[in-house]
Amino acid sequence: MRKWLLNKRCGFALLAGAITPLAFAPFHLWPIALISPAILFWLIRYQAPTPAFWTGWSFGTGLFGTGVSWVYVSISQFSATPALLAAAMTAVFVATLALFFAAQSWLYARLNQPYRYGALTFIGLWVLFEWLRGWLFTGFPWLLQGYPLLDSPLRAWAPIGGIWLLSFIAVAISVAGACLHSAKSHRQRGWIALGLSACLGTFLLPSNWTQPIGNPHSVAVVQANIPQDMKWDKRYLPEIIDRYIQLTAEHTDAELIVWPETAVPEIIYNAEPMLAAFLSALESQDRTLISGIPSIEFDRSHPDGYRVHNSLSVLTGIMNTYHKQRLVPFGEYVPFEKQVRGLTAFFDLPMSSFSLPPADQKPLFTSQHKIAAAICYEIAYPELVAASAQQADWILTVSNDTWFSHTLAPAQHLQIAQLRALENGRWIVRSTNNGITALINHHGEITESISSYQEGVLRGEIERREGLTPYQQWGNMPTLLASLALVLVSAVRLRRTKSS
């Protein structure tokens, strides 16, 4: 009987996790984000630690099995890895991520033995484990529960506490709703109602935390839609560069021009002769080109004598460069490289030997702009972006989402960028090889965009802004401390119960 009940609970948890990505882009069914945590809460509320572990793991397997299934595409379609092996690698990735929910649920069951502060414990642990997932083993801060609230009125809390506060609110509302009908006293119901009212007080919050600087600036973002199988084939390098130059020359006279991540798929010194005439023409017109382009740095301490970086460079005016600080495992560097290189095509992807830069990365700059840079996956790291945006007028993120084809990843990636704009009160220019290219205002709203798999130039205006949001000033610490305090309430209660 117990085994049957456990299997039933795991099945419900798997389903609850599997439907959760519907709350995120591109579906935007955000109320689901306020429902799915309550389902997991009810399923593990009175479970022992071991059953709770498997119920939580089932929830995580459903969430990541549907929400990040795009990993399979990048493994199988672009690395010539056999389908069965690619499926196995994806399954291992999903199962490993699901362990975060398993550990979270196990710890909840351990702390919830007095069954008195279970709701508070659940909320605190959820946020703390999301934060842990955001940095442990380089981190995977994807599908955080607060992102869907970008489509709700609760989005106004983002500049105050960032994604972490939104996750806290989403789970708190979900659990409060689950507990409301079972509250045993008017006092308990009062606390729940007060918590819900505080969250809904969003309508009293300011709408602007930062101020514009000067007049808007014209920008052109080139989306060349280069097929992935062409991008790293050196035979196509002149054709790729010509395509970017022609699109730029024919469709815009904007003062700022942006090309996406590794738009020029060659070390900057090797590509310079092909770009020289075009860059000279831009210089004469006092126009700025910023492009993703690999760069090389000579380093005698490195075994090869040099380091290669995934970089974003200002190529006209005062040339300066930003190097990517959060590299994607296997895509940009290979863990245990000597042991796994050559085992399968997946471990030999092009440009998978990038190096980390020095820790003191400065914002990009032009004569008029200070720009916070985030290359591809870096936009998913809230604290990394907030730290650089404090010193910047606007944020530039470049990406090559061609790796993920026609999957959920590009839309999820764009939603993440929108929340970074809202957290930091800064405009974001998002430049991608094949979409979704977009201009995002300081409210996290898309003002202009180009759909995926279209060649084109996105033209528009952006604002430079100054000032700091509360999130930029305080970071995630207030939310994390509040979450930890909720967990400690149960820990202290459990200790007292055992000693009495």
State the pairing for strand pair 370-375/364-365: antiparallel
The tokens describing 412, both together, are: 């999820």
Q: CA distances (Å), 416 to each of 40, 100, 366, 419, in order? A: 24, 21, 26, 5
**Contact in structure between 453 and 223 (CB atoms under 8 Å):** no
State the pairing for strand pair 288-292/256-258: parallel
**Contact in structure between 437 and 221 (CB atoms under 8 Å):** yes
Beta strand residue intervals within 320-417, DSSP E? 320-323, 364-365, 370-375, 394-399
Catalogue the active-site residues. 261, 324, 376
Quick one: CA dihedral 80, 84, 90, 96, positive or negative? Answer: negative
**Contact in structure between 441 and 427 (CB atoms under 8 Å):** yes
The tokens describing 81, both together, are: 């890895």
Phi/psi for 449 (5° steps) reads -160, 160
Residue 381: DSSP 8-state: -
* β partners of residue 308: 296
- Sheet-wide strand order for 288-292: 320-323, 311-314, 288-292, 256-258, 211-223, 456-466
CA nearest to 40, candidates 67, 2, 5, 11: 11
Q: CA distances (Å), 109 to each of 60, 112, 113, in order? A: 16, 5, 7
Q: CA distances (Å), 134 to each of 16, 125, 142, 169, in order? A: 22, 14, 8, 18
CA 54 to chain CA centroid, nearest Å? 27
CA nearest to 386, candidates 420, 360, 409, 430: 420
Q: What is the CA radius of gyration of the chain?
A: 24
Tokens 């026609």 identify what position?
Answer: 406
Beta strand residue intervals within 267-354, DSSP E? 288-292, 295-298, 306-309, 311-314, 320-323
- Beta-carbon contacts of 277 under 8 Å, excluding residues fewer than 6 positions away, are none
